[in-house]
């Protein structure tokens, strides 16, 4: 965990430096400052660790909303009010949409969770929405301990500025991937990379080999399952897009897909899929 705290701190330093130098990102989003987004994401992680919503008080807008597994929920009844032993987290920043995406893993066998959370900020920088996909026992291919092992082997270092893909390229890659379930030719538009590893729940396609591929088991049965209600958090410095949606072809599940591109090519895919408290089945 120390490693990730270090990374968040590094991001705050970068944000402060960018602001001081009048970096275009800082100018472009005057009410969308990385350190402000980081403060809220860190408060969210602390609140989730403690199971105490009060720790969010300073960052929330008065009329903030909480969504869990694609449904509006009373935060005091949701997973956010459950203390979790957090083993890993990583937060990505969208300085255009004023939003963050946090991936969080609690491998504790007594209380295992793998959670994705998008946090959206309003004009005054206060949090207007905490939107969570909270996978646990019965979720698709769920095993928090295995997920943690795989995640800790991956490298999500920031991408050097000169090598970053554009927001549009990153978003289009994620959309093409999600379109594969309803569109037989969408796979041609996915910028498949080699190596590429897909972490689907706890199942991992990566073997640590240079020819690792994410194409294994991609859909061949194209039905009317367009993966609707897509919500995006895009971080060019990470090459990443988080997309939450309704996963129609698997019990109308609540779904989180996160993609990372390196050099325009797909490098990592992480998924969490929650089937309304029931065992997920295809």
Ligand X SMILES: *[C@@H]1O[C@H](CO)[C@@H](O)[C@H](O)[C@H]1NC(C)=O
Q: Which residues bind ligand X (CB under 6 A)?
A: 52, 54-55, 176, 179, 183, 185-186, 188-189, 221, 223, 249
Both tokens of residue 47? 């609140």
Q: How far is the CB of 146 from ligand X (least distance, A)?
A: 26
Q: Which is nearer to ligand X, 137 or 185 (CB)?
A: 185
Q: Judged by CB, which is closer to ligand X: 191, or 206?
A: 191
Distances (CA, A) of 195 to 74, 205, 219, 228: 42, 10, 20, 29
Least separation in angstroms between residue 35's CB and ligand X is: 21
26: which residues sit within 8 A by CB, 6+ positions away? 15, 18, 19, 33
Identify whether the C-beta of residue 269 lies closer than 8 Å to the C-beta of residue 257: yes
Q: Which helix (H) or strand (E) holds 170?
A: helix 167-179
Smallest gap, in angstroms, from Cβ of residue 214 to ligand X? 17
Cα–Cα distance, 25 to 18 (Å, whole number):
8
Residue with smaller CB distance to ligand X, 186 or 196: 186
Crossing angle (nearest 10°) for helices 2-20 and 34-50: 160
Find the shortest distance in angstroms from Cβ 84 to ligand X. 14
Q: Which is nearer to ligand X, 14 or 189 (CB)?
A: 189
CB 265 to ligand X: min, Å:
16
By beta-carbon proximity to ligand X, the closer residue of 19 and 169 is: 169
- 249, 261 Cβ separation under 8 angstroms: no
- Distance, in Å, from the CA atom of 208 to the CA atom of 22, rounded to the nearest integer, reads 41
Residues 6+ apart with CB under 8 A from 8: 38, 41, 42, 91
Nearer to ligand X (CB atom), residue 94 or residue 179: 179
Alpha-carbon gap, residue 261 to 170, rounded angstroms: 7
Least distance to ligand X, CB of residue 33, Å: 24
């Amino acid at each position: 965990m120390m490693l990730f705290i270090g990374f968040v701190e590094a991001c705050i330093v970068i944000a402060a430096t960018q602001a001081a130098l009048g970096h275009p990102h800082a100018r472009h989003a005057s009410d969308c400052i990385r350190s402000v987004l980081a403060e809220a994401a860190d408060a969210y992680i602390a609140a989730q660790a403690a199971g105490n919503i009060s720790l969010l008080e300073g960052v929330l807008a008065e009329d903030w909303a909480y969504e869990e597994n694609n449904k509006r929920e009373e935060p005091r009844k949701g997973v956010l009010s459950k203390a979790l032993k957090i083993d890993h987290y990583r937060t990505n920043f969208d300085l255009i949409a004023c939003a963050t995406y946090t991936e969080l893993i609690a491998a504790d066998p007594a209380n295992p969770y793998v959670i994705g959370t998008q946090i959206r900020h309003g004009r005054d920088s206060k949090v207007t929405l905490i939107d969570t996909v909270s996978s646990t026992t019965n979720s698709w291919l769920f095993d928090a301990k295995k997920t943690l092992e795989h995640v800790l082997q991956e490298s999500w270092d920031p991408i050097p500025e000169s090598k970053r893909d554009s927001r549009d390229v990153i978003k289009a890659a994620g959309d093409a991937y999600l379109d594969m379930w309803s569109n037989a030719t969408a796979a041609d538009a996915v910028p498949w990379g080699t190596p590429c590893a897909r972490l689907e729940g706890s199942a991992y396609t990566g073997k640590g080999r240079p020819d690792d591929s994410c194409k294994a088991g991609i859909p061949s049965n194209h039905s009317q399952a367009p993966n609707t209600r897509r919500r995006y958090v895009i971080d060019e410095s990470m090459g990443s897009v988080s997309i939450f949606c309704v996963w129609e072809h698997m019990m109308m599940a609540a779904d989180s897909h996160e993609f990372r591109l390196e050099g325009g090519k797909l490098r990592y895919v992480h998924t969490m899929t929650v089937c309304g408290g029931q065992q997920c089945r295809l």
